[in-house]
Amino acid sequence: MASTAYVSTWPTDPRAFESLFEATPSAIFALDRAGRIVGANAAASQLTGYSRDELIELDISQLAQDSIQFVSDALTAAEKREASAVEMDFRRKDASLVPVQVTTIPILDGKHAGGVFFRVEEAHYLTEMRRTRAHMRTLAYYDSLTGLPNRIFFQERLRDALEHAPGQLPCVALLFLDVDRFKDINDTLGHALGDRFLQLVGERLVLLVKNRGIVARLGGDEFVVLAPCRGDADVRELAEELLATADQPYRIEGYEQFITTSIGISVYPDHGRNDQALIKNADIAMYHAKEQGRNAYFFYDESLEAPIRSRLAQEKQLRRALKHDEFRLQYQPIMRIADGNPLVAVEALVRWNHPSEGMLGPDAFIPAAEASGLIVPLGEWVQKTGAAQMRQWQERFGFLVLAINISARQFHQRDLCERLVEIVTGAGLLPQAIEVEITESMALFDAEHAVETIRGLKRIGAQIAIDDFGTGHSSLNYLRRFDADHIKIDRSFVAGLGGPGSDDTIVKAIIAMGHSLGLKIIAEGVETPEQYEFLRAQGCDLVQGNLFAPPMDPSQLEKLLAARV
Ligand code: C2E
Ligand code: CA
Ligand code: CA
C-alpha cells in the first residue's frame, strides 16, 4: 500500500525536476560533453554574478581554469556513475575569486553520459584557511612590536631592489642603525618601557624616511633603512638626519629619555652585490661606529674587518674561559693609616689564566667583556668567588672588607642590589663586608639612576667607593648626592706626587673636599715612602699600593692575614 502511494507522487515528466533544480541552495551548472554551460540555476547565477543568459554563453573553463579536466574525468567515470568532489577557484564576473568545492555528477542518458552536472558550493572553510594564511603571512613578515617590516620581509625587498637596480639608479644604500647602550636603557626602564621605546624609535624613523626608502626592524634594537640613492652625498645626508632625529628626547611615561644611535652603511654595488653581503658589511660598519664612540655613522670599508674579527674571536674565547673556569682572583690589601697601617680590606682584582698567553690582566679583556655583555656573568663570578673566599677568611682571621669592582653594564642592571644580596648572603657573608667600587664616569652617565642604585646598595648594607676619582668630572654636586663612603684617588695622581708638574695640589684638594663631605679617602697605587708620607700628612685615611702589598694570590694573602692576628 505504502509503495503505491509513493509511486503515485513520483513525477513522471522530467520537467517537474526543474523546480528542485531551481530551489536547491547549491549552484548547479549543467554542462555538455565539451564543457559548454547548457543550464544553470538561480544559485549559480548568484555565486558567479552572471545572469542566467550570460552563463549559457560561457564555457565552464571561463569560470574555472582547470575545470574542463574534471568534465572529462566525470565523463570517463560515467559508467561507474561516480560523483567526485574537488576544490577549485571560480572567477566571478567582477574578476574576484571564490574558493569552491565542486561535485561532478555525470548526466546519464541510459548508459551513455550526455554531459556533467557541476554542483558547486562555496568552500567557506577554504576562505577561512586563506584568511589565516594571509594573517600568518603578516605575522611572518611584520614585526609585531613596531609593525615595521621584519628581517625576512626586508631581505626580500632588498633582493627585489637589487634585481632592478642596474636599470634604475646607480646605487642602493643600506643603513644599519643600532641604538646605543639599549641594554642599559632596557635594564633601567624595564622591558615594557624598553619596548615602548623601540616603538617610538621606529615611528620616528618612518616619519623621517617617508617615501625615500623603507624602514624595517631586524630584531632587538636594530633597525635598517633601505634607500635608493644617487651617490655618497645623498646617503650622508640621510644618515645625518637619522642620527639627529634619533637623539631628540623621548617622553616615556613622564620621563625624558635621551639616546643616541650608531649607523653602519653599505652601498650597492661597491660594498656587496647581494643582500647578505650588504647586510653583513653594514653591520661591520655599525660595529665600527660603536667602537669609535657611538653617535656616528660609518661607511663600510674592507679595513674595518680585521679588528672586528679579532674582537669577535676574543668574545668567543671569553665565553669559553667562563665555562672552563679560567678566571682567577687576586686580592690587594688596603691599609688604614691612623693606627699603624693595619690591613682592613682587600680589593678583588680579576685575572685570566689564558691557556696559551698565560696570566692576563683585566685591561686585556675587561673592555671586550663589557662590549659583549659577558661582563655580567663574569662580574657575578667575581662576586661569588670573592664572597666565598671572604667568608672563609673571616672565620679564620676576623672581620675584613671585600672591595669589588663593578662595571658600567653591571651597575646599570635593574636588579643589581637583589642579585648582590643573594650572592653575598648565599655565601654566608654579611653585605656589610662588601664595598662596591664604581667609577665616577659610570655614576654620571645616568646620575638619577646612579643615585637610586647607590641608595639601594646602601640600604642592603654595602659600602660604596668612588673609584678612579679625579679622572672624570669630579662633580662636587653629584658627589654630595651619591652618599658614598670612600673616594679612591686615582693612582695617576699619586704617581705624580712630588714630581715635576706636581699633582700635590690636586691630591690635597681631593682630600679636603672629600673630608668636607664626610667621606674617607683611599689613595691607590702608593709605591714610595715619600708618597705615603705626603698622603699621611694630608690626612688621607687609607692606602693601597705596591709599597705595602701588590695584588696577590689567596695563599699569599693568608700569610699576611695570619701575621695580622
Ligand atoms: P682599579 O680598580 O683602579 O684597580 C687598581 C689597579 O691598580 C689594579 O690593576 C692594581 O693591580 C693596580 N695597582 C695596585 N697597586 C699599584 C701600585 O702600587 N702601582 C701601580 N702602578 N699599580 C698598582 P689591575 O689589577 O691591572 O686592574 C686594572 C683595572 O681593571 C682595575 O682598576 C679595575 O678597574 C679593573 N678590574 C679589575 N678587576 C675587576 C673586576 O673584577 N671587575 C671589573 N669590572 N673590573 C675589574
Ligand atoms: Ca678598583
Ligand atoms: Ca682605581
- Whether residue 307 is contained in a domain is answered as no
Exposure string of 488-519, with b = 16+ CB inside 10 Å and e = fewer, is bbbbebbbbbeeeeebeebbbebbebbbeeeb
Amino acid 359: pLDDT: 96
As a whole number of angstroms, the distance between CA 475 and CA 472 comes to 8
Measured between its terminal Cα atoms, the distance across the chain in Å is 122
Q: Is 524 in the pocket of ligand 1 (CB under 6 A)?
A: yes
Centre of ligand 2 to C-alpha 342, Å, is: 19
Q: 291 and 326 share a domain? A: no
Centre of ligand 1 to C-alpha 524, Å, is: 9
Looking at the CA of 469, which ligand is closest? 3
- Whether residue 305 is contained in a domain is answered as no
Q: 330 and 287 share a domain? A: no
Residue whose CA lies nearest to ligand 1 atom number 33 = 405
Q: 201 and 340 share a domain? A: no
**Domain range for 396:** 312-564
- Whether residue 443 is contained in a domain is answered as yes
Centre of ligand 3 to C-alpha 455, Å, is: 22
Q: Is 467 in the pocket of ligand 1 (CB under 6 A)?
A: yes
CATH number of the domain bearing residue 528: 3.20.20.450
Q: Is 349 in the pocket of ligand 1 (CB under 6 A)?
A: yes
As a whole number of angstroms, the distance between CA 363 and CA 371 comes to 13
60 by Cβ neighbours in 10 Å (0-12 / 13-18 / 19+) ranks as buried
Q: 456 and 551 share a domain? A: yes
Exposure string of 236-259, with b = 16+ CB inside 10 Å and e = fewer, is eebbeebbeebeeebebeeeebeb
CATH number of the domain bearing residue 173: 3.30.70.270
Exposure string of 553-563, with b = 16+ CB inside 10 Å and e = fewer, is ebeebbebbee
Q: Is 551 in the pocket of ligand 1 (CB under 6 A)?
A: yes
Q: Which three cell numbers stand for residue 464?
A: 660604596
Q: 296 and 328 share a domain? A: no
Q: Nearest 10 degrees: CA dihedral of 278, 280, 231, 296?
A: 160
Q: 285 and 352 share a domain? A: no
Q: What is the pLDDT of residues 321-364, one digit of tens each?
A: 999 999 999 999 999 999 989 999 999 999 999 999 999 999 99
- Whether residue 476 is contained in a domain is answered as yes
Amino acid 446: pLDDT: 73
Centre of ligand 3 to C-alpha 491, Å, is: 7
Q: 425 and 508 share a domain? A: yes
Beta strands at 27-32 and 37-40: parallel, antiparallel or unpaired: antiparallel
Residue whose CA lies nearest to ligand 1 atom number 20 = 525
Angle at 539 between CA 521 and CA 407, to 5 degrees: 10
Render 480-492 in DSSP notation, one character per residue.
Answer: HHHT-SEEEE-HH
Amino acid 111: pLDDT: 73
Amino acid 365: pLDDT: 93
As a whole number of angstroms, the distance between CA 443 and CA 478 comes to 9
Looking at the CA of 374, which ligand is closest? 1
- Whether residue 137 is contained in a domain is answered as no
Q: 294 and 154 share a domain? A: yes
Which run of H or E residues covers position 22? helix 18-23
Residue whose CA lies nearest to ligand 1 atom number 46 = 405
pTM exceeds 0.75: no
Q: Which residues sit opposite 347 in a β-bridge?
A: 332, 403
- Whether residue 6 is contained in a domain is answered as no
As a whole number of angstroms, the distance between CA 226 and CA 265 comes to 10
- Residue 472 burial (CB count, 10 A): 15
Mark which of 127, 153, 185 sits at the end of a domain: 127
Amino acid 2: pLDDT: 42
Q: Is 424 in the pocket of ligand 1 (CB under 6 A)?
A: no
Amino acid 5: pLDDT: 45
CATH number of the domain bearing residue 52: 3.30.450.20
The strand ranges marked E within 284-379 are 297-299, 327-336, 343-354, 358-360
Mark which of 300, 322, 339 sits at the end of a domain: 300
Choose the residue to mutate in 359, 404, 405, 413 for probing ligand 1, maximizing ligand atoms within 8 Å of C-beta. 405
User: Using the 8-state DSSP alphabet, how is residue 503 labeled?
Assistant: -
Q: 451 and 533 share a domain? A: yes
Centre of ligand 2 to C-alpha 467, Å, is: 6
Centre of ligand 3 to C-alpha 508, Å, is: 18
Q: Is 382 in the pocket of ligand 1 (CB under 6 A)?
A: yes
Q: Is 383 in the pocket of ligand 1 (CB under 6 A)?
A: no
Q: 51 and 96 share a domain? A: yes
As a whole number of angstroms, the distance between CA 492 and CA 526 comes to 10
Choose the residue to mutate in 464, 486, 524 for probing ligand 1, maximizing ligand atoms within 8 Å of C-beta. 524
- Whether residue 294 is contained in a domain is answered as yes
Amino acid 517: pLDDT: 92
- Whether residue 9 is contained in a domain is answered as no
Name residue, grid cell 672565620.
Answer: 395
Q: 182 and 212 share a domain? A: yes
Exposure string of 188-222, with b = 16+ CB inside 10 Å and e = fewer, is bbeeebbebbbebbbebbbebbeeebbbbbbeebb
Residue whose CA lies nearest to ligand 1 atom number 10 = 551
Tally of structural domains, the chain: 3
Q: Is 407 in the pocket of ligand 1 (CB under 6 A)?
A: yes
Centre of ligand 3 to C-alpha 351, Å, is: 16
Nearest to 269 by CA among 173, 335, 408, 157: 173
Nearest to 505 by CA among 515, 493, 521: 493
Phi-psi region of 95 (alpha: psi -120 to 50; beta: other; left: phi over 0): left
Tens of pLDDT along the chain (565 residues) come to 444 445 556 666 767 778 888 888 899 999 998 899 999 999 999 999 999 999 998 999 999 887 888 888 888 776 666 667 788 889 999 999 888 888 888 888 777 888 889 999 888 777 777 777 778 777 889 999 999 999 999 999 899 888 876 666 678 999 999 999 888 788 777 888 899 999 999 999 999 998 899 999 999 999 999 998 888 999 999 999 999 999 898 888 877 888 899 999 999 989 998 999 999 999 999 999 988 878 899 999 999 888 878 878 888 999 999 999 999 999 999 999 999 899 999 999 999 999 999 999 999 999 889 888 899 999 999 999 999 999 999 999 999 999 999 998 889 888 899 999 999 999 999 999 999 999 888 877 777 788 889 999 999 999 999 999 988 777 777 788 888 999 999 999 999 998 777 789 999 999 999 999 999 999 999 999 999 999 999 999 999 999 999 999 999 999 999 987 6
Q: Is 545 in the pocket of ligand 1 (CB under 6 A)?
A: yes
Centre of ligand 1 to C-alpha 468, Å, is: 10
415 by Cβ neighbours in 10 Å (0-12 / 13-18 / 19+) ranks as exposed
Amino acid 4: pLDDT: 45
| H-state helical runs in 77-150 | 124-141
Name the phi and psi angles at 534, rounded to 5: -60, -50
For the CA of 437, the nearest atom of ligand 1: 2
Q: 156 and 225 share a domain? A: yes
Mark which of 127, 162, 192 sits at the end of a domain: 127
Within 8 A by CB and 6+ apart from 293, the residues are none
Name the phi and psi angles at 367, rounded to 5: -60, -45
Nearest to 33 by CA among 66, 59, 63: 59
Amino acid 443: pLDDT: 77
As a whole number of angstroms, the distance between CA 300 and CA 287 comes to 10
Q: Which three cell numbers stand for residue 403?
A: 672591595
